[in-house]
Structure 1
Amino acid sequence: MAMAVNAARLCRLAGRTVPSLSLTRWTRFISTSPGNNLQFRLDERTAHSSLDLFKKDTAVIYRMLGLDPSRGQNNPERFRDWAVVFGDEKIGSGRHYWEVTVKKSQQFRLGVAEAQMSREDCVGTNSSSWVFGYTQRKWFAMTSNKIVPVTLVGKPDRIGILLDYNAGLLGLVDIQKPAVIHTMRAQFKTPLCPAFGLWDGELLTHSGLEEPEGLK
């Protein structure tokens, strides 16, 4: 299974790998839950040592050599083994939308994770996180070590994420159309945070946005 191999390669960091993945599918969704114009910054306390925040903590860059690994060594919120960072807002209800600009990156993940997710895991590899990933010029959806190819989308410079907490849905949005390209379905039971994995290049977040009219 080629996509499973790609995911394992993407998540290999600090000598760790991801087990084989199985396939599943999610369907499109329509929801009328109210929106809250979620606004967040990236939470430096959670950032792996290879990730450096900038632009007033709205952007993240991957540093191959990483920062001082002893930074915040007594901080249990920091990811130690995976190049992951969370947003600083917790989401427990409502419908929310944000966008991400991708710069010079061929390996990244965008989505949400439970605020209390284990810092020993990589986003997408457990049942506490739901992400859309990009690697080797292909998109995929991933949760609980299960991966699904996402088609009909290339590598845009900017992509949207739509979360409907009450409906249990997460969507990948083509902002040019605008249209939901792919959705993931879940039963969210605890507060979520925006979640990002990055293995090269930069990601710039854009929050506090109105949901595009075409998605409602």
Structure 2
Amino acid sequence: MLPLIRNICVKIIVWVILDASPINTEFNLIVPSHTVIGLAGHDVILPCVLSSHASAVSMSVRWFRHGEFLDYLYLYESKKISARKGSEHRVSLLTQQLERGNVSLLLKDLRMADAGRYLCHVSEQEEAREEPIDLEIIQHGSVPRISLVRHHKSSVQFSCRSHSWYPQPHMIWIDHRGQELMSATIERTSSSKPELLHSVTSTVNVEGGQWEEIFCVVTSQDREYKLESTIQIAEEYYKESAFERAYVSVFAISIFLGLTSIAASLLHVRRAKTEKEEDLEKQKRAQTEKEEDLEKQKRDDVMLDADTAHGRLKLSEDKKSVSFGELDRQKTQTDKRFIHKTCVLGEAGYDSGRHYWEFNLSNKTQWSIGIIQEPTKEQRKAKNEQTYPENGCWSICFDKELKTVEKNPKIFPSVLKPDKLGVFLDYDKRTIAFFNVEKKYYIHCVTANFKGKLFPLIGPLKGCEKSLKISSVKRGPHKTENDTVSSTAD
């Protein structure tokens, strides 16, 4: 109660002085009429400028939250600065702009609790001006994560969840044509914490053969910020359950029929089963043709290029495996070597044809694997340039979650994490594909307008304590475990 009384008394004294003194209208304060929007974790400027653009160097500038005049956030007075305890490194004036009458406040590392009304108070001798500014904080949430909820007969149900948003986001499912899936159901929840962050979850049922690929898209409330994840649905999801449903259905009917009806039903089952078997046989033949087609492609015995390996990467004598270790300062510096990125390339580059190679990634805790357009000397030495598609690199990685390597990565369901990863390049069709060899699922496929030679890429690696091995391809990608050489488990 006492701080409130003191605050009111101070304000009364200020305004009594102003009321008793002749008002000098040499300056007013200009602030935005609209609410200032800031993004959590980023910086924002609360604009406040003297209308006359006169110098504010000799003035007193006070920034405070509504109702907290004495407990100011920032005070510039007699060319001295003071700030609220705990906020010293988060608030400041644009001091070089004071001579131009700019007394705006820079607020750094925004938090949800920073939202609210602020007041810009400027005084000189007996004259003072004060204007309010409202600040709203928005927070962009997590990349949506898709998970398999259940596999029921001829359909599968997927769930998508994203959390830590403010204000409440929008979520939709779309197919590969960009059409919204209207069958989705959405559930929104708000946190009980003071920040009132929002989560959104949506589920969708997918009928057999209806879509090959679907996307879960979450956007900010103004639709200006978007994150998405995708899942590619293999035909194998439905085959068993569809046949099982047909068989159970006929069996249930037969219980209520006489011996004659039972015979007829069995005949019907036999015909249905024959038709089903023929259909499955056609699908098997199509799959076999795909496998034979892959077997006809050029076999690639990929070797790693020691001249490109970062100083912390150790290659085996046969150039088939790589591990992460201490920095080797004795390594000869070459124009081909990566200086800052812990990467290594394959020896051979490809500028035509179809190529395929595999990795055994069982129990690997972190990896990044892809294809890169032949990097320049500058790119190999660049410190901040990322291995993104716009820089001629197409990769997927695993580091707690499976995702693409790009600015806005696609997060894949954990069920797609491969023990064996296949990398397929069709240079002439400009296609790169990654797939789970054992489960026969395509994880990610991209069409890119690349040029020049493309090289196999491993990295950046963060800590492969044991070797990660690339193997020769003996067969097509859908073969048994004995067809590829395994690597040492991480």
Aligned to 2:343: 84
1:28-74 Cα offsets, whole Å, 9 max, x none, are 7x9x79721122200000000110001511000011x2222x5212x
For residues 201-212 of structure 1, what are the structure 2 equivalents within 5 Å?
A: 201=464, 202-212=467-477
Q: Check if 1:141 corresponds to 2:401.
A: no
Aligned residues: 189
In structure 1, the residue corresponding to 2:306 is in which secondary structure? coil
Q: CA deviation at 1:125?
A: 6.7
For residues 133-158 of structure 1, give each alpha carbon's deviation from its aligned partner in whole angstroms, at most 9, with x where no partner exists: 1112x111124x34211225354432
**Equivalent position amino acid for 1:210 in 2:** R
Where 1:140 maps in the other structure, the secondary structure is strand
Distance 1:128 1:199 in 2: 21
How has the CA–CA distance of structure 1 residues 105 and 38 changed in structure 2, closer, same or farther, with 3 Å as cutoff? same
Structure 2, unmatched stretches of 5+, are 1-140, 144-225, 233-289, 480-490
| Superposition map of 1:100-179 within 5 A | 100-102=359-361, 105-117=364-376, 118-119=379-380, 120=382, 121-124=385-388, 126-136=390-400, 138-143=401-406, 145-151=407-413, 153-179=415-441
- In structure 2, how many angstroms separate the alpha carbons of the residues matched to 1:126 and 1:207? 30
What is the distance in 2 between the residues matched to 1:190 and 1:27? 31
Q: What SS class does the counterpart of residue 445 from structure 2 fall into? A: strand
Q: Secondary structure at the match of 1:147?
A: coil
Identity %: 24
Whole-angstrom CA distance in 2 between matches of 1:180 and 1:196: 20
Please report how far the alpha carbon of residue 123 of structure 1 lies from its aligned counterpart in structure 2 after TM superposition. 2.8
Decide whether aligned partners of structure 1 residues 96 and 160 sit closer, same or farther in structure 2, where only a CA change above 3 A counts: same
Q: Considering only aligned residues, what root-mean-square deviation do their CA atoms show, in Å?
A: 2.8
What's the TM-score, normalizing by structure 1?
Answer: 0.75
After superposition, the Cα gap between the structure-2 partners of 1:102 and 1:55, relative to the gap in structure 1 and judged at 3 Å, is farther
1:66 and 2:327 aligned? yes
Which runs of 5 or more structure 1 residues have no equivalent in the other structure?
Answer: 4-21
Counterparts in 2 of 1:105 and 1:122: CA distance versus 1, 3 Å: farther
TM-superposed deviation, 1:27: 9.0
In the alignment, what sits opposite 1:11?
Answer: none
Pick one of 451, 455, 463 that aligns with 1:193: 455
SS of residue paired to 2:318: coil
User: Higher helix fraction: Structure 1 or Structure 2?
Assistant: 2
- 1:26 CA displacement: 8.1
The amino acid across from 1:97 in the alignment is Y
Contact kept in structure 2, 1:52 and 1:62, CA below 8 Å: yes
Name the residue aligned to 1:7.
Answer: none
* Aligned pairs (5 A) from 1:91-102: 91-102=350-361
Q: Which amino acid aligns with 1:66?
A: L
Is 1:113–1:194's contact at 8 Å kept on the other side of the alignment?
yes
Task: State the structure with bigger RCO (CA 8 A, min sep 6), 1 or 2.
Answer: 1
Larger CA Rg, structure 1 vs 2: 2
Who is 1:13 aligned against? none
Task: State which drifts further: 156-165 or 120-129.
Answer: 120-129
SS of the residue 1:172 aligns to = strand
